[in-house]
Chains A and B, each alone.
Chain A
Amino acid sequence: MDFEAIEDQDGVRCSWNVLPNTRIEATRSVVPVSALYTPLKERPDQPPIRYEPVMCKVPCRAVLNPYCQIDVRGKLWICPFCLQRNQFPPHYKDISAQNLPPELLPRFTTIEYELPRRSPVPPVFMFVVDTCLEEDELKALKDSLILSLSLLPPHALVGLITYGTMVHLHELGHQECQKAYVFRGAKDYNVKQIQEMLGIGSSVRNQAGAPPGAPANAPQQAFGAERFVQSVEQCEFTLTSILEQLQRDPWPVANGRRPLRSTGAAMAVAVGMMESAFPNAGGRIMLFCGGPATQGPGMVVGPELKEPMRSHHDIEKESDRHYRKAVKFYEALARRTAAAGHAVDVFSGCLDQVGLAEMKSMVSLTGGNMVLTDSFVTAIFKQSFQRVLEKDESGDLQMGFNASLEVQTTKELKVCGLIGPGISAGKKTAMVSDTEIGIGGTTAWKLAAINSRTTVGVYFEVANQQSQALQPGSRGLVQFCTTYQHARGEYRMRVTTIARSWAEGASPEIPASFDQEAAAVLMARIAVYKAENEEVGDVLRWLDRMLIRLCQKFGDYRRDDPASFRLGPNFSIYPQFMYHLRRSQFLQVFNSSPDETAFYRHCLFREDTTNSLTMIQPSLMSYGFEGAPAPVLLDSVSMKPDVILMLDTFFHILIWHGNTIAEWRKAGYHEQPEYENLKLLLEAPVVDAQSLLVERMPVPRYI
Chain B
Amino acid sequence: MPGYPGTCAPGYPSPAGAPITGPQTFVPGAQAPAPMPGSSAAYARGAGGAPVSPSGAGRPPQAQPAPYEPPKPRIDPNQMPTPISVHMHDQEIHDEQPYSTGLKTNVPLASTNFTAIDDGNSNPRFIRLTMYSVPHTEELLKATQLPLGMVVQPLADLAPTEEPVKLIDFGEEGPIRCMRCKTYINPYMVFINGGKHFVCNICRHENDVPDDYFCNLDMVGRRLDCQVRPELHNGTVEFVATKDFIAREPHPATFVFAIDVTWGAVQNGMVAQAAAAIKDALYGGRGLPVGAKVAIITYDRSAHFYGLSPSLEQAQMMVVPDIHDMFVPIHEGFAADPIESRHVIEGLLDSLPSMFMQNRTAEPVLGAVVQAVHEALRNTGGKLFAFHTALPTFGPGSLKQRDDPKLHNTDKERTLYEPQDSFYHDWAVKLVESGISCSLYTFPNTPMDLATLSQLSTVTSGELYSYPGFEGKRDGRRFAADLRADVERTYGSNAVLRIRTSDGLRVDEHYGNLFMRNHVDVELAGVTSDTAIGALLQYDGRLDEKQDVYFQAALLYTTSDGQRRIRVHNVAVPCTTLIGSMFRNAEVDTSMNLIAKAAVTEALSQPLRSIRERLSDRCVQILTAYRRNCAAGSPPGQLILPEAFKLAPLYTLSLLKSPAIRGGADVPIDQRIFHMCLLRQLPVRKSMDYFYPTIVPIHALAGNQGEVDEKTGLVVLPTFARASYTMLDPAGAYLLTGDGSLIMWLGRQVPAQFLQDALGVSSLEQVDIMQHSLPELDTALNRKINAIARQVLPARVGFASLQIIRQGIDQAEVQFATKLIEDRNSDNMTYVDYVCAVHRQIQVEVRPKGPVEPKWSYN
Interface positions of A (Cβ within 8 A of B) = 165-166, 168, 171, 174, 176-184, 187, 189, 193, 196-198, 208-209, 211-212, 245, 250-252
The stretch that binds A, out of B110-118, B357-365, B676-684, is B357-365
Query: CA–CA, A250 to B360, complex, Å?
Result: 33
The stretch that binds A, out of B309-317, B426-434, B685-693, B769-777, is B309-317
Determine whether B814 belongs to the interface, using a CB cutoff of 8 Å to chain A: no
A183 near B355: Cβ-Cβ < 8 Å: no
List 23 contacting pairs A-B, 8 Å CB cutoff, sorted by A.
Answer: A168-B329, A171-B319, A174-B317, A174-B355, A176-B351, A176-B354, A176-B355, A177-B347, A177-B355, A178-B315, A178-B316, A178-B317, A179-B319, A181-B319, A181-B321, A182-B320, A183-B322, A184-B325, A187-B325, A208-B363, A211-B358, A211-B360, A212-B360
B304, B322, B354 interface centre (most CB from chain A within 10 Å):
B322
A182 near B318: Cβ-Cβ < 8 Å: yes
Q: A193-B322, A208-B301 are in contact. Are A177 and B360 (CB under 8 A)?
A: no
Query: CA–CA, A193 to B320, complex, Å?
Result: 12
Q: A166-B329, A208-B301 are in contact. Are A178 and B322 (CB under 8 A)?
A: no
For window 277-328 of chain B, which residues contact chain A by CB distance below 8 Å? 301-302, 304-306, 312, 314-322, 325, 327
Which residue on A lies nearest to B317, using beta carbons? Answer: A179
For window 205-227 of chain B, which residues contact chain A by CB distance below 8 Å? none
Interface positions of B (Cβ within 8 A of A) = 301-302, 304-306, 312, 314-322, 325, 327, 329-333, 347-348, 351, 354-355, 358, 360-363
A208 near B332: Cβ-Cβ < 8 Å: no
Which residue on B lies nearest to A212, using beta carbons? Answer: B360
Minimum distance in angstroms from B310 CB to a CB of chain A: 14
A212 near B301: Cβ-Cβ < 8 Å: no
Residues of A within 8 A of B327 (CB): 166, 184
Residues of B within 8 A of A212 (CB): 358, 360
B331 near A180: Cβ-Cβ < 8 Å: no
B318 near A184: Cβ-Cβ < 8 Å: no
Residues of B within 8 A of A209 (CB): 301, 361
Which residue on A lies nearest to B355, using beta carbons? Answer: A176
Residues of A within 8 A of B301 (CB): 208-209
Residues of A within 8 A of B354 (CB): 176
Query: CA–CA, A181 to B316, complex, Å?
Result: 11
A168, A183, A187 interface centre (most CB from chain B within 10 Å):
A183
A180 in complex: contacting residue of B314, B319, B325, CB < 8 Å:
B319
Q: Lowest 7 A-B CB distances belong to which pairs?
A: A197-B321, A182-B329, A179-B317, A176-B351, A181-B319, A250-B331, A177-B314
B317 near A184: Cβ-Cβ < 8 Å: no
B363 near A197: Cβ-Cβ < 8 Å: no
Query: CA–CA, A177 to B362, complex, Å?
Result: 23
Count, A-B residue pairs, CB within 8 A: 78
B325 near A177: Cβ-Cβ < 8 Å: no
Minimum distance in angstroms from B332 CB to a CB of chain A: 5
Minimum distance in angstroms from A579 CB to a CB of chain B: 55
Which residue on B lies nearest to A164, using beta carbons? Answer: B331
Q: A177-B351, A187-B322 are in contact. Are A251 and B316 (CB under 8 A)?
A: no
Given contacts A168-B329, A179-B316, A252-B331, 18 further A-B contacts (CB under 8 A): A165-B331, A174-B317, A177-B316, A177-B317, A177-B351, A177-B355, A178-B316, A179-B317, A181-B302, A181-B319, A181-B320, A182-B320, A183-B320, A184-B322, A196-B321, A209-B301, A212-B358, A212-B360
Residues of A within 8 A of B320 (CB): 181-183
A250 near B317: Cβ-Cβ < 8 Å: no
B362 near A208: Cβ-Cβ < 8 Å: yes
Residues of B within 8 A of A252 (CB): 331
B322 near A189: Cβ-Cβ < 8 Å: yes
Minimum distance in angstroms from B359 CB to a CB of chain A: 8
Minimum distance in angstroms from A418 CB to a CB of chain B: 39
Query: CA–CA, A250 to B329, complex, Å?
Result: 10
Query: CA–CA, A193 to B312, complex, Å?
Result: 32
Minimum distance in angstroms from A319 CB to a CB of chain B: 32
Minimum distance in angstroms from A269 CB to a CB of chain B: 10
Residues of B within 8 A of A251 (CB): 331
A180 near B316: Cβ-Cβ < 8 Å: yes
B315 near A180: Cβ-Cβ < 8 Å: no
B301, B304, B321 interface centre (most CB from chain A within 10 Å):
B321
B301, B333, B348, B362 interface centre (most CB from chain A within 10 Å):
B301
Query: CA–CA, A183 to B328, complex, Å?
Result: 10
Query: CA–CA, A616 to B314, complex, Å?
Result: 55
Query: CA–CA, A181 to B304, complex, Å?
Result: 8
Query: CA–CA, A67 to B75, complex, Å?
Result: 120
Query: CA–CA, A179 to B317, complex, Å?
Result: 4
Residues of A within 8 A of B348 (CB): 177
Minimum distance in angstroms from B298 CB to a CB of chain A: 11
Query: CA–CA, A208 to B305, complex, Å?
Result: 21
Query: CA–CA, A174 to B354, complex, Å?
Result: 11
Query: CA–CA, A193 to B354, complex, Å?
Result: 28
Minimum distance in angstroms from B340 CB to a CB of chain A: 17
A250 near B322: Cβ-Cβ < 8 Å: no
Q: A178-B314, A184-B327, A211-B360 are in contact. Are A197 and B322 (CB under 8 A)?
A: yes
Minimum distance in angstroms from A225 CB to a CB of chain B: 13
Query: CA–CA, A23 to B315, complex, Å?
Result: 71
Query: CA–CA, A197 to B315, complex, Å?
Result: 22
Residues of B within 8 A of A189 (CB): 322
B316 near A198: Cβ-Cβ < 8 Å: no
Which residue on B lies nearest to A252, using beta carbons? Answer: B331
Query: CA–CA, A183 to B315, complex, Å?
Result: 19
Residues of A within 8 A of B314 (CB): 176-178
A180 near B318: Cβ-Cβ < 8 Å: yes
Query: CA–CA, A211 to B329, complex, Å?
Result: 23
Query: CA–CA, A182 to B322, complex, Å?
Result: 8
Which residue on B lies nearest to A210, using beta carbons? Answer: B360
Residues of B within 8 A of A168 (CB): 318, 329
B325 near A208: Cβ-Cβ < 8 Å: no
Query: CA–CA, A201 to B314, complex, Å?
Result: 31
Query: CA–CA, A174 to B318, complex, Å?
Result: 12
Minimum distance in angstroms from B341 CB to a CB of chain A: 13
Query: CA–CA, A187 to B332, complex, Å?
Result: 22
Residues of B within 8 A of A208 (CB): 301, 360-363
Query: CA–CA, A189 to B320, complex, Å?
Result: 13
Query: CA–CA, A168 to B331, complex, Å?
Result: 13
Residues of A within 8 A of B362 (CB): 208
Minimum distance in angstroms from B342 CB to a CB of chain A: 16
Query: CA–CA, A197 to B325, complex, Å?
Result: 12
Residues of A within 8 A of B360 (CB): 208, 211-212
Query: CA–CA, A208 to B301, complex, Å?
Result: 9
Minimum distance in angstroms from B208 CB to a CB of chain A: 48
Residues of B within 8 A of A166 (CB): 327, 329
Query: CA–CA, A536 to B333, complex, Å?
Result: 53
Query: CA–CA, A178 to B330, complex, Å?
Result: 14
Query: CA–CA, A617 to B201, complex, Å?
Result: 98
B332 near A250: Cβ-Cβ < 8 Å: yes
Residues of B within 8 A of A165 (CB): 331
Residues of A within 8 A of B332 (CB): 250
Residues of A within 8 A of B325 (CB): 184, 187
A177, A179, A211, A250 interface centre (most CB from chain B within 10 Å):
A177
Residues of A within 8 A of B347 (CB): 177
Query: CA–CA, A38 to B63, complex, Å?
Result: 112
Residues of A within 8 A of B302 (CB): 181, 197
Which residue on A lies nearest to B330, using beta carbons? Answer: A250
Residues of B within 8 A of A176 (CB): 314, 317, 351, 354-355
Query: CA–CA, A211 to B300, complex, Å?
Result: 12
Query: CA–CA, A184 to B303, complex, Å?
Result: 13
Residues of A within 8 A of B322 (CB): 183-184, 187, 189, 193, 197
Minimum distance in angstroms from A163 CB to a CB of chain B: 12
Residues of A within 8 A of B317 (CB): 174, 176-180
Query: CA–CA, A189 to B321, complex, Å?
Result: 11
Residues of B within 8 A of A181 (CB): 302, 318-321
Residues of B within 8 A of A178 (CB): 314-317
Minimum distance in angstroms from B685 CB to a CB of chain A: 43
